[in-house]
């Protein structure tokens, strides 16, 4: 592979329920409420705030069948147990792997019909990370051991 070859959205495989799912769009957003600390209006350090992570997937109807099968097995869409989602890209020279642990799905944009559009129909699924394992980026945890103390067995 060429050293100049970079990752694009086409390089990523996304695994949900141990199956590869093809997406139109995907985003993982970490919300870290770490904040600056002040004394008499002057910055003097920081405080560690809570952290959360939101996941959003836009998938075509053929790929939505993976989610539908999980919902059918669980008895409802809300009944789907949290699952890990892995985003993985590899181009021969480099790899990138992001794992969101314990994602609880919620249906979002169930249907949007535009009779003038030739785009295929998609569904948006949102989720939020529920596991103290949180998110790992290339095998490195986003949260520190101090953040997860007492929540994860060593």
pLDDT the model gives residue 140: 97
pLDDT the model gives residue 4: 67
Please write the tens of the pLDDT for every residue from 46-70.
Answer: 999 999 999 999 998 899 999 999 9
**Number of Cα atoms under 13 Å in the Cβ half of residue 12:** 20
> How far, in Å, are 7, 22, 105, 108 from residue 92 at the CA level?
11, 21, 32, 36
Please write the tens of the pLDDT for every residue from 112-147.
Answer: 777 887 778 888 999 999 999 999 999 999 999 999
Provide the pairing of β-strand 19-21 with 12-16. antiparallel
Sign of CA dihedral 62, 56, 88, 83: negative
Token pair recorded at residue 24: 């139109």
Token pair recorded at residue 8: 């694009």
The answer to whether residue 10 scores a pLDDT higher than 80 is no
Q: Output 20 or 118, whichever has higher pLDDT.
A: 20
Percentage of the chain modeled with pLDDT above 70: 95
Strands (DSSP E) contained in 25-144 are: 25-32, 35-39, 42-47, 51-60, 83-90, 95-107, 122-129, 135-137, 140-141
Q: What is the pTM of this model?
A: 0.87
Do the beta carbons of residue 53 and residue 30 sit within 8 Å?
yes
Taken in order of first residue, the domains within the chain and their CATH numbers are 11-141 (2.30.110)
Q: Return the DSSP state at 119.
A: S
């Amino acid at each position: 592979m060429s050293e100049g070859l970079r990752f694009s959205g086409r390089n990523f495989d996304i695994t949900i329920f141990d199956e590869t799912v093809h997406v139109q769009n995907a985003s993982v957003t970490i919300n870290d409420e770490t904040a600056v600390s002040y004394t008499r209006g002057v910055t003097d350090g920081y405080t560690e705030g809570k952290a959360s992570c939101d996941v959003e997937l836009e998938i075509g109807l053929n790929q939505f069948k993976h989610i539908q099968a999980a919902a059918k097995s669980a008895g409802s869409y809300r009944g789907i147990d949290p699952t890990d989602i892995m985003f993985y890209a590899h181009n021969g020279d480099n790899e990138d792997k992001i794992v969101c642990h314990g994602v609880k799905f919620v249906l979002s944009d169930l249907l949007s019909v535009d009779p003038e559009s030739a785009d295929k129909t998609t569904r948006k699924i949102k989720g939020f990370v529920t596991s103290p394992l949180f998110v790992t980026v290339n095998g490195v945890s986003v949260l520190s051991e101090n953040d997860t103390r007492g929540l994860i067995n060593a």
